[in-house]
Structure 1
Amino acid sequence: MSILEIIKSRRTIYQFIPKLIPLDSLNLCLEAAIWAPNHKMTEPWRFWVIGKETQSELAVIYAENRALKRAEKGSDNYDDIYQKALSKFLAIPQVILVGQLLAKDKVTIQEDYAACSCAIQNFQLAAWEIEIGVQWSTGPIIEDKRTYEILKMESIDLKLIGALYMGYPNCVGKSTRQPIEKVTSYLA
């Protein structure tokens, strides 16, 4: 596929078949990620490839956050939501967390966030080319201080900006975009 075909066909994937992703495929996606443009070559991105033991720890955080958002702790509804969320998170074939090194000034922080976003897009496009789907989540798991504790890091110097849930797609949805004429102005 051409790069434009990959860009146009890529979808966020929410359902995966239970199949492990080979390490060389993960590394290919990470290699694509680190070639993202970044102002002043700051290379602000950091990645954590999560193994099954750590995924089990993160699953508790994920499930608690999901359940607390919808029900009161200790209720039957809470327990039901918690169990479903726990199972859902544990079923994700691969989780990768993405962080951004925090610069000292606001302008660089903004530039670095843009660079990290580009890195994630590169990652997703490389994954899609080898038939791996990705969901970029910015949910509460990346804000929870327990996640930082599991990763043994301080949120002073580094901020988590995404959880990449990835695997071989179970189903791929369709999408459309507005024509460029609706979103573009050509000025003389």
Structure 2
Amino acid sequence: MNIIEIINSRRNIKSFKSDPINMEQISKWLQAGTMAPNHKMTEPWEVFIIGPETRAKLNHKSDFFNAPAVLAVLSKHGSTEVETVENALATACFVQNFNLAAWAEGVGTFWSSMGNAQKNRDIMGVPAGYDVIGVFGVGYPEEINNPKERTPIQEKIKHLS
């Protein structure tokens, strides 16, 4: 697949096979994430690999759709409000690179925002000065949903004089 096909076919997976994903694969995709643009090379991302004990405490309503691996991606706050926003945006780019690298090899992700709740931050031991960009189930898709309707980009483009 070329990059456009990878982008257009990627989905948020809500049904995973039980086939394991090894840490070497995950590390390779995370390394691809590090090529994300980030202002002043802040590299603000941190990754927590969620083990079974922490996963059970998080008590996600669907247990991340039985994904064989779960991880959290955090973004470090900057020294200014603007840098904190830039760091979060860079970390979102990191996540997208990770998602696309995994998808290119037939592995999907489920992105949950549950990590922002204080209870879940405490369970994961998220330090002050970090935002949780997402908690991700990672695995081989059991099922791939059809894409949801998107607004045509022409409706979102504004031409300035």
| 1:149 Cα deviation after fit | 3.3
| 1:117 Cα deviation after fit | 0.6
Q: Say which SS state the counterpart of residue 75 (structure 2) adopts.
A: strand
Report the TM-score, using the length of structure 2 for normalisation.
Answer: 0.88
State the partner residue of 1:162: 134
Separation of aligned partners in 2, 1:181 and 1:153: 40
Unaligned runs of 5+ in 1: 63-84
State the partner residue of 1:20: 20
The count of aligned residue pairs is: 159
Q: Say which SS state the counterpart of residue 8 (structure 1) adopts.
A: helix
Match of 1:93 among 57, 63, 68: 68
State the partner residue of 1:148: 121
Q: Does 1:110 align with 2:85?
A: yes
Larger radius of gyration: 1
Matches within 5 A, 1:62-101: 62=60, 85=61, 88-89=62-63, 91-101=66-76
Aligned AA (1:116): T
| 1:15 Cα deviation after fit | 0.9
Percent of paired sites with the same residue: 35
| 1:39 Cα deviation after fit | 0.3
Q: Say which SS state the counterpart of residue 16 (structure 2) adopts.
A: coil
Report the TM-score, using the length of structure 1 for normalisation.
Answer: 0.77
State the partner residue of 1:67: none
| 1:158 Cα deviation after fit | 1.4
- More deviation, 168-177/1-10: 168-177
| 1:186 Cα deviation after fit | 4.2
Separation of aligned partners in 1, 2:152 and 2:118: 42
| 1:187 Cα deviation after fit | 4.7
State the partner residue of 1:173: 145
Backbone CA RMSD of aligned residues: 1.8
Aligned AA (2:108): G
Unaligned runs of 5+ in 2: none
Separation of aligned partners in 1, 2:126 and 2:137: 21
